[in-house]
A = this chain, B = another copy of it.
């Protein structure tokens, strides 16, 4: 079973432009072509793209993802590097989660702040000593 670029774009919720851009940047060396040059995506290619999307969502830049893809095609000799990379990513995502939880706390405070102010009809209920908001 193979898929066209527009089918893959729809499935992964990104544009055809973006997919071709990823390919140009070396993120998809495994995607095969018809004799006339049209890309043919296999199921395993879509799985690979999901990992790429996962790495992207951790904030990893495309050039670094390319490095990982290269390691993958070099075989078992790069297993250690790849493992280390995922451990690093894990640490980064843990930090992001912590950060996002702090952000959530502040947002929740602000929600309460404005709920109270709205009930009172004025922000003055919070005796902020000439604060900005």
Contacts and interface: CB of A to CB of B under 8 A. Distances in A.
A107 B80 CA distance: 15
Given A97-B101, A117-B79, A132-B44, A87 B111 contact: yes
Interface string A81-109: 01100110110011011011101101110
Secondary structure of the A side of the interface? Answer: helix
Interface stretch (A2-10, A18-26, A47-55): A47-55
Contact of A57 (B47, B99, B129): B99
A30 B111 contact: no
Contacts of A122: 76, 79
A12 interface: no
